[in-house]
Amino acid sequence: MSSSTTPDVFKGWVAHNATSPLTFTTFNPKPFAETDIEVAISHCGICGTDIHTLRSGWGLSDYPCVVGHEIIGTVTRIGSGVGTLTSSPASRDIRVGDRVGIGAQSMACLRADCSACADGQENYCPRITGTYNSRYADKSKAHGGFATRWRGPAHFAFKIPDSLPSAEAAPLLCGGVTVFAPLRKYGAGPGKSIGIVGIGGLGHLGILFARALECNWVVAISRTSSKRKDAIEGLGADAFIATGEEKEWARTHSRSLDLIICTVDAPDMPLTQYLRLLKVDGTFVQVGAPEKPLPQLTAWSLIQKGVKVTGSNIGSPEDIRLMLQLAAERRVLPWIQKRPMEDVNAALADMDAGKARYRYVLTNETGKQAKL
C-alpha cells in the first residue's frame, strides 16, 4: 500500500560541475515504482567516493549530481509491491516509520540468469546502479543522500538495529561494509593477523571490525605516527607502522600478516613494501580507488611467497545485514564528527584535506531541511 505521495521534485545539495560548490536546489528523483520506498534523510556520511565523483576524478561525472551514500532516515512511503518483494524477503518487513539505511548501491539487474545476482553478489552485477552518478534501467538518474529525501528500491534499504545510533550507523552503510566484506570473505578471525592500510574513514572501521571479529593481531599502517595514539589506545590496534617515518619498516615487519586491507586512495603508495608484510599465501585486498593506476609490481613480489592481490567492491546485501548485526552486538561504532548538512561544502573541503577523525556525518536533525 502506498502510504502517502510526495511530489516528483526533491531538494538537496546539487553538484553542477567539477569545480563549483554544491547548491541547495531542486532535483528530480527517479519515477516512483511500486517496489520503491521513500525516506526522510536524517544523516548522511561523507565517503572518499563522494570527493572522487564530485571532481570527476574517475572520469566525467553525470552532472547535475547529488552524492552521499551513507544514508540514514525514516521511511515515509512504501510502494504496494514492497510487502511481497520476491527479490528480498528481508525488505518485505519495511514499514512506514522504520529507520533504514542505504549504502553505495541502489539497484542491480536481479535476474535469475545473472550469475552475480543469482549468487547473492549483487555488488558484482554487471548492470549495477550506484546510489548516485548512475542510472536505473529506465535511464532515470540515481541521486544520493546530500538531500532531504531519498527514493529508491526497497531491495537496497536495510533496517537499522535499535541499538545503533543514527549518526554512528551512517558510515557503516558504505565504509563499514567495504572493509567488513573482505575481512569476512578472506577469513579474518581468531588466529589471524590483519593489516589495515590508511587510517581514514574506511581504515578506522577496518580496525574496529577486525577487533570485533576477534582477530589475533591487528596492525594499523599509516604514513605518519600522528594517528598512533588513536589507533592503539582508542580503536584497539595491537601495533602501528608509520611508513613515512620508520626506516626498514617493510623488512622489520616482513611475513607478519595473513591479510591486508588497503584503503589508500593515492596512486603513490608503497605497494611492493605492503606486499612484503604478507606471510606465505597471504592476501592483499585493495579497496581504496586512486584516480591514477596503482604502482608497478615486479613478478617477484607475487612469486616469492605465493601472495594474492585482489580487490573488493562495497558488499552484498547479505554482507550489509551481517555487518549491521555484528556492529549492534559488538558495539562497533565509528568515530564521527557531526556537521549540519548546510555546511556540506566546508565539510567536503575538510574531508579532502584529510582532517576528518574519522568520518564526517551530515545531519538534517533540526528538521529544518527535512520538511522541504
Ligand X SMILES: NC(=O)c1ccc[n+]([C@@H]2O[C@H](COP(=O)([O-])OP(=O)(O)OC[C@H]3O[C@@H](n4cnc5c(N)ncnc54)[C@H](OP(=O)(O)O)[C@@H]3O)[C@@H](O)[C@H]2O)c1
* Residues within the interface to ligand X (CB under 6 A): 47-49, 52, 174-175, 178, 198-203, 222-223, 227, 263-266, 268-269, 287-289, 312-314, 354, 356
**269 touches 295 (CB < 8 A):** yes
Q: Which does 205 bind (CB under 5 to 8 A by kind): ligand X, Zn ion, none?
A: none
Q: Which does 268 bind (CB under 5 to 8 A by kind): Zn ion, ligand X, none?
A: ligand X
| Coil vs helix vs strand at 172 | helix
| CA angle, 325 then 327 then 332, to 5° | 175
Q: Which does 40 bind (CB under 5 to 8 A by kind): Zn ion, ligand X, none?
A: none
Q: Which does 262 bind (CB under 5 to 8 A by kind): ligand X, Zn ion, none?
A: none
**Which residue's CB is nearer to ligand X, number 75 or number 336?**
336
C-alpha–C-alpha distance, residues 237 and 141, integer Å? 41
CB of 370 to ligand X, least distance (A): 25
C-alpha–C-alpha distance, residues 126 and 28, integer Å? 25
**Which residue's CB is nearer to Zn ion, number 113 or number 162?**
113
Position of cell 584516480? Answer: 291
**Helix 317-330 × helix 175-185 angle, to 10°:** 100
C-alpha–C-alpha distance, residues 333 and 165, integer Å? 9
CB of 131 to ligand X, least distance (A): 11
Q: Amino acid identity, residue 205?
A: L
**Which residue's CB is nearer to Zn ion, number 46 or number 219?**
46
Cell numbers found for residue 66: 547529488
CB of 301 to Zn ion, least distance (A): 28
**Which residue's CB is nearer to Zn ion, number 46 or number 164?**
46
Q: Which does 125 bind (CB under 5 to 8 A by kind): ligand X, Zn ion, none?
A: Zn ion
Centre a 10 Å sphere on the Cβ of residue 352 and count the other Cβ atoms it contains: 15
CB of 32 to Zn ion, least distance (A): 22
CB of 149 to ligand X, least distance (A): 23
**Which residue's CB is nearer to ligand X, number 282 or number 334?**
334
**Which residue's CB is nearer to ligand X, number 35 or number 133?**
133
Q: Which does 246 bind (CB under 5 to 8 A by kind): Zn ion, ligand X, none?
A: none
Q: How many Cα neighbours within 13 Å face the side chain of 21?
A: 10
Give the H or E element holding residue 211.
Answer: helix 201-212
C-alpha–C-alpha distance, residues 323 and 202, integer Å? 14
- Residue 238 is given by DSSP the state S
**304 touches 278 (CB < 8 A):** no
**Which residue's CB is nearer to ligand X, number 76 or number 121?**
121
CB of 124 to ligand X, least distance (A): 11
Nearest-CB residue for ligand X: 200
Q: Which does 22 bind (CB under 5 to 8 A by kind): ligand X, Zn ion, none?
A: none
**Which residue's CB is nearer to ligand X, number 37 or number 54?**
54
CB of 220 to ligand X, least distance (A): 8
**Which residue's CB is nearer to ligand X, number 207 or number 215?**
207
C-alpha–C-alpha distance, residues 130 and 120, integer Å? 17
**351 touches 51 (CB < 8 A):** yes
**68 touches 95 (CB < 8 A):** no
Quick one: 239 exposed, middle or buried, by C-beta within 10 A (0-12, 13-18, 19+)? middle
CB of 332 to ligand X, least distance (A): 16
CB of 3 to Zn ion, least distance (A): 30
Q: Amino acid identity, residue 362?
A: L
Q: Which does 287 bind (CB under 5 to 8 A by kind): ligand X, Zn ion, none?
A: ligand X
Which residues sit at the interface with Zn ion, rule CB under 5 A?
47, 49, 104, 108-109, 114, 117, 125, 174
**351 touches 175 (CB < 8 A):** no
Q: Which does 227 bind (CB under 5 to 8 A by kind): ligand X, Zn ion, none?
A: ligand X
| Coil vs helix vs strand at 264 | coil
